[in-house]
Amino acid sequence: MENQLQEQIALFDKYLSEHIEGASLDVHPFEIADTLMQIKKVDEQTYLDFLNRLPQTLLAEVIIELPRHEQEEIYERFGAKKLALLTEELNTNDAADLILHIEEIDEDKANAVLSNLSEEDRDTINELISYEENEAGAHMKVEVFTAHLHEKIGDSILRLKKMKQNNEIDNVHHVFVVSDERTFVGMIPLEDLILHGPKELYKDVIDDEGKITVFVKPHDDIKKVIEAVSNYDLSVIPVVNDFGLLVGRITSDDIYDIISEEATDQIYHLAGVNDEAEQEESLWLIGKSRAMWLGLNLFTAIAASLVIGLFDETLQSLVALAILMPIVASMGGNAGTQTLTVTVRQMALGEIAGDEAKKTIFKEISIALLNGLLYGIVMGVIAYVWFDMPMLGVVIGMAMVTNLFAAGFFGATIPLTLKKLGVDPAIGSTVILTTVTDVVGFFSFLGLATLILL
């Protein structure tokens, strides 16, 4: 393992030497970041030496590929002027993310970095960071390749060539066509241009073949962006302001990151975990974040225990109830989690809105009742055979149906209600639902047992 790492260090050293000398080497910044992290695990000084040797353009791209906690260390180590130079090397949306990240660590340093930027870059970044995280404008690049309606295809291709040579733009798959007033007209895939001569005008191309006119506005919810990209199979979507002017674009790589982050957030929130805290290295911060939700869960568990305490005489009279009681609560909890997960995911994808909410609740209740009847009968037979008590089988069967009905109903309504109240449906839903299914499960089972068996 050590020999392999030494080989990696030697190869990386050779790569840096050749890169600095101007050789063209096709190595993605992610691969460099990954190699640097492996080196740091065994030799931090070598890691720092390599980091300092990276050319400025490459260093900026490598830093944003490093883990979040590693980025924080670099932002704390570098001065404002150095960070400003790195910021200028990035795309506008990456630069805005970098400033926001620095701001979380040290607001004064973030302001100092901004003050060291050119006025144009500073204004652009300030505009991007002014948008909310869930708005399209927060994720757009302002670097856009445009062509005028009356421009020749050949002339625009020459402009694109120069821009690529000067690293002014990347990830270009479409030409955004604008009018003389810079209002957005439509976009054309680059591959379609090979079917036309260099002297043809974009106006003629659009008239002959049509154009893609899908766009979003800067303040649109990012879910609308994801939905549009998915529905129209787009790799990029233009951002147009209220006056019809093209102000930016959101590319597929950014959309993928958004979807990935959203899915991660939902998974963490459903488990009662803070996704940002989990990225910290400090065990104290991670433990503190989890402890809050565990503390809340403790109170809900006490509430369920109080329900059990109401039927202490019933439990003392019939030991079989204590044996079977966890089954009812467990089945309700699992059924509720299934409903909750499906509902939250459908809401995130925009599949539940308006009258569809009622359909969702009805569907989940129906499924829960069917499963409740099935497993209620199964468990009733098992209880009868196990304890030779026919009515005990009836009690647990009825309790199972009741609790699974509650699981289906509340598993769908809790996230829908939280969303209506303006709260993230994924946050807290699990704790609330677990409390409901435990309380309903214990109360229905022990209550029916008290009425029927005693």
Per-residue pLDDT of 187-244, as tens digits, reads 988 888 888 888 999 988 887 666 778 899 999 988 888 888 888 888 899 999 999 9
Residue corresponding to tokens 């043809």: 200
Q: Are residues 194 and 335 in the same domain?
A: no
Phi and psi angles of residue 426, each rounded to the nearest 5 degrees, phi first = -75, -25
Higher pLDDT, 392 or 24: 392
Q: Hey, how many other C-beta atoms are within 10 angstroms of the C-beta on 123?
A: 12
Same-domain status, 250 and 301: no
**Portion of the chain with pLDDT greater than 90, in percent:** 37
Domain-located, residue 268: no
The domain boundary residue, chosen from 106, 133, 160: 133
Backbone dihedral region for residue 66 (phi beyond 0: left; psi -120 to 50: alpha; all else: beta):
beta
Give dist(CA 240, CA 11) in Å, integer.
46
Q: Tell whether 76 and 163 lie within a shared domain.
A: no
Residues 199 and 120: beta-carbon distance below 8 Å = no
Domain with 78 in it: what CATH number? 1.25.60.10
Residues 9 and 125 in one domain: yes
Domain span at residue 379 reads: 275-452
Are the CB atoms for 214 and 232 separated by under 8 Å? Answer: yes
> Is 86 domain-assigned?
yes
Please count the CA atoms within 13 angstroms of the CA of 283 that sit on its side-chain side. Answer: 0
Residue whose tokens read 């529905």: 231
Q: Please indicate, yes or no, whether residues 212 and 111 belong to a single structural domain of this protein.
A: no
Q: Are residues 218 and 136 in contact, defined by beta-carbon separation less than 8 angstroms?
A: yes
What is residue 420's predicted lDDT score, i.e. its pLDDT? 82
Q: Are 90 and 102 spatial neighbours (Cβ–Cβ below 8 Å)?
A: no
Residue with tokens 């690293």, as numbered in its chain: 167
Burial class (CB in 10 A: 0-12, 13-18, 19+), 419: middle
Same domain, 125 and 172: no
252 and 206 inside one domain = yes
Output the pTM of the full model: 0.70
**Do the domain assignments include residue 416?**
yes
Q: Which of 165-179, 220-234, 380-394 has the highest mean pLDDT?
A: 380-394
Cα-only R_g, the chain = 30
Q: In this structure, are 282 and 357 located in the same domain?
A: yes
Domain boundary among the residues 258, 289, 317 is at 258
How many domains does the chain contain in total?
Answer: 3
More confident residue, 284 or 257: 257
Residue 266 placed within a domain: no
CB 290 within 8 A of CB 426: no
Residues 114 and 70 in one domain: yes
The model's pLDDT over 45-71, given as tens digits with 9 standing for 90+, comes to: 888 888 888 888 888 888 998 988 889
Beta strands in 364-403 (DSSP E): none
DSSP tally for the chain: helices H, then strands E: 20, 5
Q: Is residue 24 pLDDT above 60, yes or no? A: no
Strands 246-251 and 236-240, by their bridges, are: antiparallel
CATH of the domain at 365: 1.10.357.20
In a domain, 151, yes or no: yes
23 pLDDT band (50/70/90 cuts)?
very low
Q: What CATH number has the domain bearing residue 206?
A: 3.10.580.10
